[in-house]
Amino acid sequence: MKKSSILIIEDNVDIRENISELLMLSGYTTYEAPNGKLGVTMALERLPDLILCDIMMPELDGYGVLHILSKHQQTLHIPFIFLTAKAEKTDMRRGMTLGADDYITKPFDESELLVAIENRLKKSHHKLEFATVGGQFNDLFAHKVIKTYGAKQLIYTEGDTPAYIYFLHQGKVKIVKMNKDGKEVVLELCSNDDFFGYWGVLEDQNHQETAEVLEDSVIWQIPVEDFTLLLVHNREVSMRFLKLLSKNLLLKENKMLELAYESVRKRVANALVALSDIYAVNGHFCMRVPRELIASMAGTSVETAIRMLSEFKADAYIDIASSEITILNYEMLKKAPF
């Protein structure tokens, strides 16, 4: 029988080695990563059965690790347990709304850790796999319509009556809303395997936002009737959407606080970090980014966004070649004082 494999992402070498030894004695195969960036790479390469991850780490913290891995279909459903010395309720809430399966506080009892791992592995074996085309998820929506959209094409607009829930099979989509001053505000960025367009359906009202394609995309249009039936009769699907809704509410709450209290320089930096978290490939972000997108994400003018990008380039945080932006120093963009 194949041993279950566990990836341990922990910067403290003693803790990491002690956990690894304990798990190997308990019959597991272990992989070790000393920081978040390496942890993401190893998770994508090794595809472990479960991930144990510290929160406060160099290179990339645990929240960043979870956010990145949740954007990849192959790692989306790997059980994820936070292992940290932080025990405040706000930290627990943030971790769970991002999709964590459990939260264990250090110092911990060895049996407590083993029981948590065993329980999560058992549950994961019975989870519905949201596979892509040809898999079980594809079969759930027999009446879906598959459409190809070009860059800048609108999928639906504010005020439209919802007829579908949308699943982004491949590509990039932004969800936007016009504020009272007529300026576009980005509410959400979607990447491969993301659902969108569901708020109007769940709230039984017309769309309150607009969905626009950022680059050529393949999108599934799922009839509202199919979606609502699945929510009622399929517990795994309904649980996934509860997590998704909680996560989006937290992101919108944080966005409101950012627009109210952060400097424009910090908001532009946060926009770049958000783009990297969603669209980076193997921890590396290089993408053609319209300056209007950065401006609307940061809640500022295009001219101001361009000026901030020039400053970040001078600071060697990013590189710019025509409309393509490459992030050179993710940590400085994320953590440096502005």
Q: What is the pLDDT of residue 134?
A: 35
The pair of structure tokens assigned to 322 is 């025509």
Residues in the chain: 338
Identify which of 334, 337, 178 has the alpha carbon closest to the alpha carbon of residue 263. 337
* CA–CA dist 224, 233 (Å, integer): 14
- Distances 15 to 10, 125, 191, 281, 314 between C-alpha atoms, Å: 7, 28, 35, 29, 39
Q: Which of 74-83, 132-141, 201-210, 260-269 has the lowest mean pLDDT?
A: 132-141
DSSP per position, 191-236: -TTEEES-HHHHHTS--SSEEEEEEEEEEEEEEHHHHHHHHHH-HH
Please, what is the average pLDDT of the chain? 83
Q: Which of 71-80, 108-117, 257-266 has the lowest mean pLDDT?
A: 257-266
Q: What is the pLDDT of residue 331?
A: 85
Q: How many CB atoms lie within 10 A of CB 143?
A: 9
In this predicted structure, the answer to whether residue 6 has a pLDDT above a threshold of 70 is yes
> What pLDDT band is residue 312 in, cutting at 50, 70 and 90?
very high
* CA–CA dist 277, 284 (Å, integer): 10
- Distances 208 to 145, 178, 240, 260 between C-alpha atoms, Å: 23, 10, 22, 22
Domains of the chain: 5-125 (3.40.50.2300), 136-258 (2.60.120.10), 262-335 (1.10.10.10)
Q: pLDDT (tens digit, 9 = 90+) per residue, 64-108?
A: 898 888 777 678 778 899 888 755 545 655 666 566 778 888 888
DSSP per position, 38-53: HHHHHHHHH--SEEEE
Better pLDDT: 50 or 130: 50
Q: What is the pLDDT of residue 181?
A: 76
Q: pLDDT (tens digit, 9 = 90+) per residue, 156-187?
A: 999 999 989 998 988 999 999 887 777 888 88
Buried/exposed 9-43: b ≥16 CB within 10 Å, e otherwise: bbbeeebbeebbeebeebebebbbbbbbbbbbebb
In this predicted structure, the answer to whether residue 325 has a pLDDT above a threshold of 80 is yes
6-21: average pLDDT? 94
Q: Please enumerate in sequence order all residues whose Cβ is within 8 A of that of 33, keeping only pairs 6 or more positions apart, or say none.
A: 7, 8, 9, 10, 39, 41, 42
